Structure 1
Amino acid sequence: MMLNKIFTSFTFRFLVGYVAWLSVAVLLVLMLIYAFIAYDFFSDVHRSVEVELKELREAYEEGGEEGVDRFVEVRSGPTRLIRFFYYVGDSERHKVAGNLEEWPNTKEYRGGWLGFDFASLTKIADPVNTEFIARSTRLESGEHLLVARHYADVLNSTTLVAGALIRSMVATIILGTIGGAIMAGLSLKRIEAINESLLRIMSGDFSERIDISSSTGDFRRLSVNVNQMLDRIEVLMTGVRQVSDNIAHDLRTPLTRLRNRLSELYDDCDNPQNREQVEALIEEADGLLGTFSALLRIAQVESGNRRSGFGEVDLCTLVSDVIELYEPLASDKEQQFNTAMARVGKFHGDRNLLFQAVANLVDNAIKYTPEGGRVHVGLSVDAKAFKITVADSGVGIPAADKEKVFQRFFRVEGSRSQHPGNGLGLSLVQAVVRLHDGFIELEDNHPGLRIVVRLPRQNASASHARAI
């Protein structure tokens, strides 16, 4: 898993691309170096052959056959490496002097250069099987002079250089790839640490900050900037929540007193018409108190403070209790109430909050489903998550509003006048689901709405650890 993350990370792919382009550049440079070295080698061979031919001519013109023998003896002494071979022939190219036995069968190349390949017998060496490059000249007196040099050493040298350059390029690629994997691993480790901190912040812990103690360079500057941004966001969020909480607290108290006074008036009122008006006012006060209580519950859940109430929850029993509570309401509307329950085991969470979230979903499904419609509640589990499904055959939610319905006080236009509510139900559900590291999805049920809540199985232990 870690290797897969490294190999698919942007840092590794960037460095691999960089190494690939660097290898191409290195290959071009090495090819250029090889071309220069090979050119220098062969230029040196050509110059040396021409110099030897000139000196051989001078030796023959000054000392004749004996002069050539002395020249060859000096050039082929025991302390010298035999590279050159000499031949002096008459006008018919019959041997006169030199350490070649006969005039070779040559091929002529441009510039007057000759080449041949054969087993040449010399007076001082064993048979030699190699390739030669040669140059010849003809004297005014008719003699032919030839100087040959075997260039196997040159080929070996250029091959050695080419091999060294290729190995250098291969080493560059291998070391670059290994270095890229190491750098990607280090970068991935820092990025994973940042992601973990951001996930904790998104789950509601706004006091969390990215650790910068082990960061350097760009990662440190990025972490510092993100922390400063989080500080600013926390100040703004705290201010907004504080205002809304204060309003909820400050208004809930006088509303409670108002409701109590209305209750007293209702008990003391003898006029039926006045009692109806007072009863309507009590209902209005109850609605306002419910709104403020819901706001305070959402604020408390989003703050993450409710993790202290986590414990082992039997989801099957919890959903069954919700179904038992709302089945009579569905029966009153003559709705078909279907259930599909699976034994899913225990989940680590806050039972009261989860019960309230599922109850809100079932309540909405029954509320927005017309008489005679269908409501389905299901519980299942897969390898990754527990799934709570609530589906209905109501009017559904337009695609443009599916993200907005989780905002506080947002209500679809068509439901404002038809159904009572304050637009806080799904906001509370989302806050509870996020507190448990889960996800909520809204899907079309054709007709109606299908809501799927996913509570991750693997995050249960992590949530328990944070709660402790």
Structure 2
Amino acid sequence: MAVRRSIFSRIVALAILLSLALVSGLWVLTDQTIRVTLEGSARKAVDVDLAGLADIHASSGREELERRIRDRLAITPVDGAAPHYLLADANGARIVGDIAAWPKLDADISESGTIRIGKGTTAFARATRLGPDLQLIVAREPADGGALLRRVMLVFLAGGALFMALVGGLGRLAAGRLHWRIERINDAFRDPEEGRLPPPGGSSKGDEIDELTAHSVAAIARQKRLIEAYRETSDQVAHEIRTPLMHLDGRLTKALAAGTDEPITTHLIGARTDIKRLVAMLESLLDIAASKARQGDRHGLRPVDLSDLVTRICELYADSAEESGHDFGWTVEPGVIFRGEEVQLSQLVTNLLDNAFKYVPAGGRVRLSLASGPVLAVEDDGPGVPEGDREKIFDRFYRSRATEADLPGSGLGLALARAIAERHELTIGLDPSAKGARFVIRGEG
């Protein structure tokens, strides 16, 4: 199974992506929490500072308040959260402090809000009235959380990377185990004869894969029983029919050897011909049924050198073609290897050639070609196939009415060819041709 198509690889990738999304979401939440906490600390510091200065004014007077504000402005805070002050008269004129002008904050209601300090600095501030002609603003910049946020970000990056690595590793191990268990089932269906699965009821895990395994074992066992029953029945039927026919043929042979009148001899020879035709028909029907029963079953298929196989068959047919007066030629690309049963593939090629030589009159042309793919074509310049018969000719016992009375045959040759082709996952059909017929076999891959 290719990795890019594996559902288990997709599950692992999805788990890693979800882990990444989870870590990212937690980072965003943590970042916002830290920022809100720092802002809350600034607000609390402003309220505490403002309350302290108000107490100083109430207990020690305005001069002491001014001195304390100057002292606080002279001190640089360690945490970087710089305080700012403005002590002003009733009109907002500055008495002391580093805030240039009174902002839009109402001291009568102790209004608070964010104000701008200088050009690019903002701070949280609160105003209050200390007397009829005295009002105070205390502002504080939020603490510099950049260093804290960077440290937290590094922790999240390291922890997130470790978390995703663990998720990916554990997910891969789990997916690998599931993949192995599923692949055992697939291998068992590809090659049922190997006994790759445990016997039914042998699993103790009891999960969905084990249930699927149990059903697969039962299905394969049932398939084997059906195939064995079919083989036994077909072999028995073949034996029961073929044996009496062969005995009858033996008696006819003895009768011919004993010598009889010419009319009787002619009838006996015709009877023997019919017997041989029935036996051949029976064998073809059994071959068709066996090929269809094994369709999709890859067991028993081996690499076959099609180029060598087809060349040997063509060399055998070359002598017959010379005797029958046919122009026969072939073009075979070397090194065409295909996985299949050599006997059946030979039968597939010979059936197509037999069909061509049977329908093409003496002096006609028959050509065979083989290319990689594989693509095997047998074409002739005979009478061709009527348009209405192009698909029917692959049915069992079907023979075109145009040739049914002229040529012998049972109408099973092309049906057997299609059954063998389908058993090997090949397609067979008629391609358009200017004259005659062109049968083409193609690999589905």
The alignment's TM-score, normalised by the length of structure 1, stands at 0.69
**Are residue 62 (structure 1) and residue 47 (structure 2) matched?**
no
Q: Distance in 2 between matches of 1:78 and 1:103?
A: 16
Q: Deviations over 1:257-281 (max 9, x none)?
A: 1111122223335333322222221
Give yes or no for the alignment of 1:143 onto 2:140: no
- How far does the alpha carbon of each residue in 1:218-274 deviate from its partner, in whole angstroms, 9 at most, with x for none? 333323212211111221222122111101012211111111112222333533332
Aligned equivalents of 1:304 and 1:147: distance in 2? 87
Q: What is the match of residue 452 of structure 1?
A: 441
How far 1:311 sits from its partner (Å)?
9.9
**RMSD (CA atoms):** 4.9
Do 2:427 and 2:442's aligned partners in 1 also have CA atoms closer than 8 Å? yes
Q: Could you say which residue in structure 2 is the equivalent of 1:271?
A: 261
Question: Partner letter of residue 113 of structure 2?
Answer: W
Assess if the C-alpha contact under 8 Å between 1:134 and 1:149 holds in 2.
Answer: yes
Letter in 2 for 1:376: R
Structure 2 CA distance for aligned equivalents of residues 270 and 88 of structure 1 = 144
Report the residue type matching 2:378 in the other structure: V
Which one of the candidate residues 217, 226, 243 is aligned to 1:227? 217
**Aligned residue number for residue 94 of structure 2:** 93
Deviations 1:41-87 (A, max 9, x none): 42343233223212221222112344676799799999975745353
1:18-417 superposed matches below 5 A: 20=17, 31=28, 34-35=31-32, 37-64=34-61, 65-66=63-64, 83=81, 85=83, 87=85, 89-91=87-89, 92-95=93-96, 102-104=98-100, 108=104, 112-118=112-118, 132-154=123-145, 157=148, 187-201=178-192, 207-211=193-197, 217-268=207-258, 270-294=260-284, 314-315=308-309, 317-328=311-322, 331=325, 336-344=327-335, 354-369=345-360, 374-380=365-371, 382=372, 387-392=375-380, 394-395=384-385, 401=391, 405=394, 409=396, 411=398, 417=404
- Aligned partner of 2:3 in structure 1 is 6
2:76 & 2:301 partners in 1: Cα distance?
A: 94
Larger CA deviation: 442-451 vs 243-252: 442-451
- Which secondary structure does the structure 1 equivalent of 2:274 belong to? helix
Q: CA deviation at 1:362?
A: 0.5
Spell out, residue by residue over 1:154-211, the C-alpha distance to the aligned partner (whole angstroms, 9 max, x if none).
465566657766887777777766766666655555555444433334xxxxx34443
Listed as ranges, the gaps of 5+ residues in structure 1 are 120-128, 202-206, 457-468
Question: Does the Cα contact within 8 Å between 1:375 and 1:392 map onto a contact in 2?
Answer: yes
Contiguous gaps of at least 5 residues in structure 2: none
Q: Does the 8 A contact of 1:316 with 1:342 survive in 2?
A: no
CA distance in 2, matches of 1:35, 1:14: 31
Preserved CA contact (<8 Å) 2:426 2:444? yes
Identity %: 23
Partner of 2:409: 421
Inter-partner Cα distance in structure 1 for 2:336 and 2:17: 52
Q: 1:108, 1:158 → 2: CA distance?
A: 32
Choose 56-65 or 349-358, whichever is displaced more: 349-358
How many Å apart are 1:395 and its aligned residue? Answer: 0.7
Instruction: Tell me, in whole angstroms, the C-alpha distance in 2 between the residues paired with 1:94 and 1:305.
Output: 101
CA 1:105/1:9 → structure 2, altered by over 3 Å: closer, same or farther? Answer: farther
The count of residues paired between Structure 1 and Structure 2 equals 424
Displacement of 1:29: 6.4
TM-score with structure 2 length normalisation?
0.72
